[in-house]
């Protein structure tokens, strides 16, 4: 069957180009209601989209249930009817004037016209006089907000007898399925848009983070040479002032300590930059962790000025083998020990062992008897530049955590206010061949 087509055009998938209804065409209250109805329709972003199987299936099913030659999912735009799905015709849209659907959306009930030639509203419509339409039944498509944006309608060139309550209920149920499909489509579209926005934001964040990491890496690298020279100058100056006043020597010592802290920060920044850019030397090999732990503890003891403080090392007699990067793990243990030395004036215990069970782990536990931390402090513990109450660079733990994760391990923290803190580094245990 052929219908007289319209040349009304809209933007694909969205709001058609149109002017607001004129006040003489609609009363002020009716005009506002129609504006809201059209806005509800445009929310679905459905107009002028390609055919979709879910909607095509509904019109075929409806045609089969009611034995109808023409079935349409008709969306009522401002001055046209646009068909999302159609059965029995190839027409995609019609002029709104003199059509059946604008009348059908005035009610929440099914509109049934058994013989259009006997209905004074449509008897002179060109769809009746020229195209021969006689029977029409349309169930409104009602959104969850109550707006009637179109119909699921059926047409025939032959008049039909009674269209009973049972048939009306079936048609309304099928119209509800159309709305369900529209809602699902809108939700999928919104979700896809949000995912795209998140992906774009993630990309922008990663790009900004990469720029920041490179920037800090360059700063840290450029600081290394003048810092080394300054510390050497302090050492030389201290030797030439062997008999200087004690206050002068204290000032030199403060300068040395400050310089070493800045150098430590620069080294940590460089490490963090290399990790983020995947440029850190992480070549792994089968390694016994015990000698590495002994070296790190010996070096830390040499940095402790208070000779009453102890760094005790307790390790298994049997090898603690793991497939690791020795340089990375040395940096991890150094940073964790330095953290303990900064945050407590008591002893530190380093314990190396492996856990038995289905999945063996090499475990290195570094425990202090410091003030401990609350849950909020622990939550931000491994964030770069997060400094606790006792100061520090705020980088050592961040570098340690990133390195451990990069070589396939994890760091766990146990802490209690007033009792101290224990860091456990868990590494995959490797059996010998």
Pull the structure tokens for residue 90: 């190839």
End-to-end CA distance of the chain: 80
Residue 189 falls within a domain, yes or no?
no
Query: Is residue 80 pLDDT above 90, yes or no?
Result: yes
Q: What is the pLDDT of residue 114?
A: 96
Q: What is the mean pLDDT of residues 46-62?
A: 96
Evaluate whether 411 touches 423 at the Cβ level (below 8 Å). yes
Q: Is the pLDDT of residue 176 over 90?
A: yes
Assigned domain for 114 exists: yes
Q: Tokens in use for 408? A: 């396939």
Give the C-alpha distances (Å, rounded to integers) separating 78 from 27, 147, 164.
15, 14, 31
15 lies in some domain: no
> How large a percentage of the chain has pLDDT more than 70?
74
pLDDT at 316 exceeding the cut of 60: yes
Residue 226 belongs to domain spanning: 203-276
Query: Looking at residues 330-348, what average pLDDT do you find?
Result: 83
Question: In this structure, are residues 409 and 332 in contact, taking their beta carbons and an 8 Å threshold?
Answer: no
Are 371 and 418 within one domain? yes
Residues 116 and 224 in one domain: no
Cβ pair 271, 328 in contact under 8 A: no
DSSP string, 379-430: HTTTSTT--BTTB--S-HHHHHHHHHHHTT-EEEEEEETTTEEEEEEEEEB-
Q: Is residue 388 part of a domain?
A: yes
Split at pLDDT 50, 70, 90, the class of 184 is very high
Task: Give yes or no: residues 49 and 154 share one domain.
Answer: yes
Burial (CB count within 10 angstroms: exposed 0-12, middle 13-18, buried 19+), residue 415? buried
Per-residue pLDDT band at 266 (split at 50, 70, 90): low
Residue 246 pLDDT more than 80? no
Of the three residues 163, 188, 213, the one that is the final residue of a domain is 163
Q: 381 phi and psi, to 5 degrees?
A: -60, -40
Residue 290, in any domain of the structure: yes
Task: Give me the mean pLDDT over the 219-244 stretch.
Answer: 67
Say if residue 250 is in the same domain as residue 225. yes
Conformational region of residue 111, where left means phi above 0, alpha means psi within -120 to 50, and beta covers everything else: beta
CATH number of the CATH domain containing 39? 3.30.450.40
CA–CA dist 361, 357 (Å, integer): 9
Length of the chain: 433
Once rounded to an integer, what is the mean pLDDT over residues 172-195? 94
Residue 417: is its pLDDT beyond 60?
yes
Q: What's the whole-number mean pLDDT along residues 185-211?
A: 85
pLDDT band at 24 (very low <50, low <70, confident <90, very high): very low
What's the DSSP call for residue 15?
A: P
CATH (domain of 259): 1.10.287
Is 256 within a domain?
yes
**pLDDT for position 273:** 64
Parallel/antiparallel/unpaired status of strands 70-76 and 285-288 = unpaired
Residues 81 and 159 grouped into a single domain? yes
pLDDT at 370: 81
Q: What is the pLDDT of residue 432?
A: 59
How many structural domains compose the chain?
A: 3
Q: Is residue 276 very low, low, confident or very high in pLDDT (cuts 50, 70, 90)? A: low
Q: Which residues contact 321 (CB under 8 A, 6 or more apart)?
A: 286, 287, 288, 289, 362, 429, 430, 431, 432
Q: At what angle do helices 289-303 and 326-343 cross, to 10 degrees?
A: 40
Quote the pLDDT of residue 317. Answer: 82
pLDDT at 23 over 50: no
> Looking at residue 217, what is its pLDDT?
59
Q: Is residue 69 in a domain?
A: yes
- The answer on 316 and 254 residing in a single domain is no
Question: Which residue did the predictor score with more confidence, 236 or 257?
Answer: 236
Asked if residue 215 and residue 133 are part of one domain, the reply reads no
Contact 137, 154 (CB under 8 A): yes
Contacts with 30 (C-beta within 8 Å, 6 or more apart), sequence order:
none
Span 83-137, pLDDT tens digits: 999 999 999 999 999 999 999 999 999 999 999 999 999 999 999 999 999 999 9
| Mean pLDDT rounded to a whole number for the chain | 81
Distance, in Å, from the CA atom of 6 to the CA atom of 98, rounded to the nearest integer, reads: 13
The pLDDT score that the predictor gives to residue 162 is: 80
The mean-pLDDT minimum among 43-57, 63-77, 231-245, 330-344 falls in: 231-245
């Amino acid at each position: 069957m052929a219908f007289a087509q319209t040349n009304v055009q809209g933007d694909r998938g969205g709001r058609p180009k149109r002017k607001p209804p004129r006040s003489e065409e609609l009363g002020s209250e009716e005009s506002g209601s129609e504006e809201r109805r059209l806005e509800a329709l445009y929310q679905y972003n459905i107009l002028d989209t390609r055919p979709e199987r879910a909607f095509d299936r509904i019109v075929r099913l409806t045609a089969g249930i009611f034995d109808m030659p023409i079935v349409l999912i008709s969306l009522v735009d401002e001055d046209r009817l646009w068909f999302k799905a159609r059965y029995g015709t190839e027409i995609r849209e019609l002029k709104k004037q003199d059509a059946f659907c604008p009348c059908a959306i005035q009610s929440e009930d099914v509109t049934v016209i058994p013989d259009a030639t006997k209905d004074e509203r449509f008897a002179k419509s060109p769809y009746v006089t020229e195209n021969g339409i006689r029977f029409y039944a349309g169930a409104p498509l009602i959104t969850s907000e109550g707006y009637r944006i179109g119909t699921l309608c059926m047409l025939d060139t032959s008049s039909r007898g009674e269209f009973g309550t049972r048939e009306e209920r079936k048609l309304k149920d099928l119209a509800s399925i159309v709305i369900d499909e529209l809602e699902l489509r809108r939700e999928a579209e919104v979700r896809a848009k949000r995912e795209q926005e998140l992906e774009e934001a993630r990309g922008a964040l990663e790009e900004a983070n990469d720029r920041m990491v490179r920037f800090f890496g360059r700063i840290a690298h450029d600081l290394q040479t003048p810092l080394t020279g300054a510390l050497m100058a302090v050492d030389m100056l201290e030797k030439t002032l062997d008999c200087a006043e004690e206050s002068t020597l204290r000032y030199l010592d403060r300068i040395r300590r400050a310089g070493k802290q800045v150098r430590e920060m620069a080294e940590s920044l460089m490490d963090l930059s290399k990790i983020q850019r995947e440029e850190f030397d992480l070549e792994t090999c089968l390694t016994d962790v015990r000698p590495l732990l002994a070296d790190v503890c010996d070096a830390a003891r040499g940095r402790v000025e208070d000779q009453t403080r102890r760094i005790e090392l307790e390790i298994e007699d049997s090898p603690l083998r793991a497939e690791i990067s020795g340089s990375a793990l040395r940096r991890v243990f150094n940073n964790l020990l330095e953290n303990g030395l900064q945050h407590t004036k008591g002893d530190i215990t380093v314990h190396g062992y492996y856990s038995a069970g289905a999945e063996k782990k090499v475990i290195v536990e570094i425990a202090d008897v410091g003030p401990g931390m609350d849950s909020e402090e622990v939550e931000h513990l491994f964030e770069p530049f997060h400094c606790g109450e006792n100061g520090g660079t705020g980088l050592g733990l961040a570098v340690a955590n990133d390195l451990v994760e990069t070589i396939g391990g994890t760091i766990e923290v146990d802490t209690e206010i007033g009792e101290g803190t224990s860091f456990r580094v868990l590494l995959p245990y490797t059996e010998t061949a």
